[in-house]
Amino acid sequence: MKNLNVKTGDTVVVITGKDAGKQGKVLSVNPSENRIVVEGVNIVSRHQKARKAQEKSSIVKKEGSIDVSNVMVVCPTCGKATRVKHTVNEEGKNVRICKCGAALDKKFVKDAKKAKKQASEEVKAVKAADKAKAEKAEPVKRAVEKKVKATAVNTKEASKPTAAKKSQRGV
């Protein structure tokens, strides 16, 4: 049995054939034949014979299968058609990944969104803590600056020669 990059429920875009450019949801996957059925793509007509006296014969339109090589998976995060990359996550499970780094599997997309939200909340908390520390440190900084200025003024005055010192030098 082959391992396909496309799973039931994925959104795909058709890249070749009469339906090129159309997007749809994957309804079924047949890995042994390397074919998939996509919603609204490759519509075929089938004649259906009446089985009972009360039924009417009709022509039924339904989706036909297409080769899996004729589609590309659409990333739910970036919205672009992408090649599928396989990686192993922290839990040791194989995950399908987009070029942009987002997980294509819906289960892992939810986990990634939760992790991203938690990370952004942590960053906001750290920024708020840093801001609070800066606000608390501001009055201390001002006091230190005043002391430094006062000390600098005092040292300048002390270094100026006074009249008594001038007379001692003989000036």
CATH number, position 22: 2.30.30.30
Which H or E run includes 148?
A: helix 106-159
**Predicted local distance difference test score (pLDDT) of residue 44:** 95
Residue 145 main-chain phi, psi, to 5 deg: -60, -40
In angstroms, rounded to a whole number, what is the distance separating the alpha carbons of residues 143 and 148?
9
Q: Show the domain range for 151.
A: 116-159
Q: What tokens were used for 33?
A: 């034949």
Phi, psi values for residue 9, rounded to 5°: 100, -15
Whether the pLDDT of residue 69 is over 70: the answer is yes
The answer to whether residue 45 scores a pLDDT higher than 90 is yes
Contact status, residue 41 vs residue 65, Cβ threshold 8 Å: no
Assess whether 131 and 72 both reside in one domain: no
What is the domain count for the chain?
A: 2
**2-13 pLDDT, tens digit each:** 678 899 999 999
